[in-house]
Amino acid sequence: MNHSIYFFCFLFLVFSNGLNAASQEGAFSSKGMIVSRSSLASDAGLEIMRQGGNAVDAAVATAFALAVTYPSAGNLGGGGFALVRLPNGRIFSLDHRETAPNASHRDMYLDEEGEPNKHLSRSSALSAGVPGTVDGLLTLLDRFGTMPREKVILPAIRLARDGFPVDFFLSRHIKRYGKKLKDYESSKKKFLRDGAPLSEGDLWIQPDLAKTLLSIAENGRDGFYEGKVAKLIVAEIRARGGIITLKDLKSYSSVWRDPIGIDYRGNRIWTMGPPSSGLLILQMLNMMEPFDLQKLGWGNSKLIHLMIEAEKRAYADRAEYLGDPDFFDVPLEILTSKKYAKKRFQGFEWDRLSESEQISHGEIKNRESRETTHFSVMGSDGMAVSLTTTLNSPYGNKIVVSGAGFLLNNEMDDFSIKSNVMNQFNLIGREANSIEPNKRMLSSMSPTIIVKDDLPILVTGSPGGSTIITTVLQVIINFLDHKMPLQDAVGFPRFHHQWKPDTILYERGAFSPDTRENLERLGYKAFRAWTFGGGIGDANSISFDGSLIQGVKDPRASGGTVGL
């Protein structure tokens, strides 16, 4: 595909989403870069960089600010994963995913007939896992940051205490979920004015959230997991039928896990291991590496068929083998091996699709929200942070902690509440992801860093529930195989398949008419245009060529790209 067609597809995506083409140009800097879902949060990170902070200092400042300016996914009451590359090239990954309360049990969301109660697992106080965000951010700062937490959290405190004008995108988002946010008095107090959702131009002051942030700044993790804030959390949850206790909060701890990686066409792809699903990206790249993707060309029906066949097999493995590695023996080495990928892909044929119902997980013997948000940070020294965080559904379970000013998550729905029953993202799970006390639920979040010749050439990740995995995969393929500039690698239309349901989701512009026709000839029947929000994913990414850092905000959503 030549550059003029690249440009046409880019323009098609930009204008079809009603976004300004200038937003896709991104920013360039030789000193540092931050790309996030909120321009105010990106500015908070930049402020810390200007004061001499490194990429981790800036990332933590950005994350705390997102809890103020992008509350549907930025959070204090949720969790996430962080991948960090140090200037010396070492890679670290931190799991600050939520955990199941100690009183949890396998069948806690099943009714008397043994059928799942979706309200309990998604919309009640019982849906909340023990929050990990605050512990995770402070753990990152303690180990790799250079600035005191009081300074790093200060921009977020100011935003909550002094307020900021609500922009069009935030106003629209709150209005979209306004009815559900009216269900709880504490949520109405935070998001509504005189019974109506916050409107564009309103000055949004959040005094309770400011007090909570100040408590964390002054007292560290004890300012959230113990004392007044912890008591407010437990009081809110217990009053509404939840089971999180003061002991659950006090005993929460983030976990440093070994990052996982593979070599792919001379690059090293690093991502988060379980209970993240970054492993699937590595699996799919391994399956496709023997094929010349660049020669096939972006948008070609053969390439799309190849990618879907890899996706079907990887998602089938996810259902069987992925879960919290502290509770289930995930066969990491086998699943990420080239040998296993070759065996797994033996049945692939160019002229025939594999029926999803006929695909199961691979045989291994003797084995060992959509409303999420992702941001990327890089410093001039090559330190990079890829961090994805979430409440699960938009605004979590919609419950704001009275007096503390932040929302609770509904991450318990990410467990397999019953074997082979789909969660809200239509993902299937089994024994590996069953509910157990203190266990971490499986996640699709996949923060990723790519290194070539000791340079971190790409930092990426995305929100999007089950589409996170395929979004990151497509950014990587666009960047490495199709040699696209970063703005195209991030901006080009996307599609998604996840084994079950056997449906291809696609953005406008992802398939040309002849591509669609060729896929139908192969036997693909179920196509569904993506109509939710701006598009599939929100891959806020950064590239580096050794001297110049480029940041690109995904054009599918608002946000900010700022360079030092």
pLDDT at 352: 83
pLDDT at 66: 98
> Count of CB atoms within 10 A of residue 302's CB?
18
Query: CA-to-CA distance for 357 and 30, rounded, in angstroms?
Result: 50
103 and 238 Cβ atoms separated by less than 8 Å: no
Q: Give the residue-averaged pLDDT of 432-461.
A: 94
84-127 per-position pLDDT tens digit: 999 999 999 999 999 999 999 989 998 888 888 988 989 999 99
C-alpha 209 chain-centroid distance: 23
400-425 per-position pLDDT tens digit: 999 999 999 999 988 887 665 555 54
pLDDT at 531: 74
Full set of structural domains in the chain with CATH? 1-12+66-163+205-534 (3.60.20.40)
144-153 per-position pLDDT tens digit: 999 999 999 9
Catalytic pick from 139, 372, 389, 448? 372
CA distances from 248 to 50, 224, 439 (A): 38, 12, 12
Query: CA-to-CA distance for 389 and 38, rounded, in angstroms?
Result: 14
The rounded mean pLDDT for the chain is: 89
Query: CA-to-CA distance for 283 and 317, rounded, in angstroms?
Result: 10
Query: CA-to-CA distance for 127 and 120, rounded, in angstroms?
Result: 6
Look at residue 475 and give its three-state secondary structure: helix
The two tokens of residue 172 are 């629209």
508-517 per-position pLDDT tens digit: 989 999 999 9
Query: CA-to-CA distance for 404 and 528, rounded, in angstroms?
Result: 41
pLDDT at 10: 44
486-504 per-position pLDDT tens digit: 999 999 999 999 877 788 9
Q: Give the residue-averaged pLDDT of 204-233.
A: 98
Omega of the bond leading into 501 within 30 degrees of 0 (cis)? yes
> Does the pLDDT of residue 364 top 90, yes or no?
no
Q: Give the residue-averaged pLDDT of 509-536.
A: 86
Its sign, for the CA torsion 463, 392, 440, 255, is positive
Q: Identify whether 561 is a catalytic site residue.
A: no
296-350 per-position pLDDT tens digit: 999 999 999 999 999 999 988 888 888 899 998 999 999 999 999 999 999 899 9
**Which of 257, 317, 254 minimizes the C-alpha distance to 282?**
317
pLDDT at 180: 85
Q: What percent of the chain has pLDDT over 90?
A: 72
- Is residue 391 packed enough to be buried (19+ CB in 10 Å), middle (13-18) or exposed (0-12)? buried
Torsion-angle region of 299 (φ positive above 0: left; ψ -120 to 50: alpha; else: beta): left
Query: CA-to-CA distance for 75 and 137, rounded, in angstroms?
Result: 11
Q: How confident is the model at residue 532 (pLDDT cuts 50, 70, 90)?
A: low
pLDDT at 357: 54
30-71 per-position pLDDT tens digit: 999 999 999 999 999 999 999 999 999 999 999 999 999 999
pLDDT at 424: 54
**Which of 493, 459, 458 minimizes the C-alpha distance to 474?**
493
